[in-house]
Amino acid sequence: MNVITQNLAQVRQRLREAERLAGRPEGSVGLVAVGKTWPATVLAEAYRLGLRDFGENYLQEALAKQDELKELAIVWHFIGPIQSNKTRLLAERFHWVHGVDRLKIAQRLSEQRPVDLPPLNVCIQVNVSNEPSKAGVGLVSLGELAESIAGLPRIKLRGLMAIPAPSDNYDQQRDTFRTLREALEGLGLAGLDTLSMGMSDDLEAAVLEGATLVRVGTAIFGERL
Ligand SMILES: *Cc1c(COP(=O)(O)O)cnc(C)c1O
């Protein structure tokens, strides 16, 4: 068995175990494979093992891989920081954009989403750890931003995303993820079905707190190049 096959089996095992502990149906948590720094050939290998959702952080790198893998039925997630002059390519080339934290970005994505494509799936990034220099909208401003974004015609607001400050304390991980879940529940908007939270080191805590998509790189592909 090669390394990715082995790693992926472990990640799937961890997910199943966490789903069981959480009393959630097996397979209810989606797995986004984060392929930043890995070449298209490595992503194709993961695809062959059944993965369909792939996350990328860097636009130019992602576009090159999309071109190489265009025969594959991949669902592309953009999970990196968003510059407003790059929104057109995000709107044209991705199925999901996870890191939206300003209305202006969302408006541009909505205006630039091609009419022959379904509305763009968007998650609002929340600065749950309240780190001053971090991306993400603060909890105080979230409600207003979510309402505005939910009203945009070419966007489908799916839910919330967070990249908490790393912690090796399980209870602390859960506290942070619970904050995001409660923020989603508190919005009271219809049709929000997504909590994009949990990575290689904290996916169990995320699943226990209701993650519907975990974004996993290192645990699948190994330490980044
Ligand atoms: C890199 C990255 C991940 C994956 O992190 P790992 O620790 O390698 O699993 C998930 N989400 C975002 C936003 C990332 O930038």
Closest CA to 123 of 176, 154, 88, 161: 161
The residue whose CB lies within 8 Å of the most ligand 1 atoms, and thus the one to mutate among 101, 173, 199, is 199
Which residues in 177-187 are b (16+ Cβ under 10 Å) and which e? Answer: bebbbebbeeb
29, 207 contact by CB (below 8 A): yes
Q: Using one digit for the tens of pLDDT, what is the confidence trace for 162-207?
A: 999 999 999 999 999 999 999 999 999 999 999 999 999 999 999 9
Atom of ligand 1 nearest to the CA of 221: 8
Residue 178, SS3 per DSSP: helix
> Which pLDDT tens digit goes with each residue over 62-112?
999 999 999 999 999 999 999 999 999 999 999 999 999 999 999 999 999
* Ligand 1 atom nearest residue 219's Cα: 9
Is 51 in contact with 8 (CB distance < 8 Å)? Answer: yes
Read off the amino acid at residue 127: N
State the closest ligand 1 atom to the C-alpha of 201, by its place in the atom list counted from 1: 7
pTM: 0.97
What CATH topology corresponds to 3-221? TIM Barrel (3.20.20)
Tell me, what amino acid is at 28? S
Ligand 1-lining residues (CB < 6 angstroms): 34, 36, 57, 79, 163, 199-201, 215-219
Element (H, E) at 33: strand 30-34
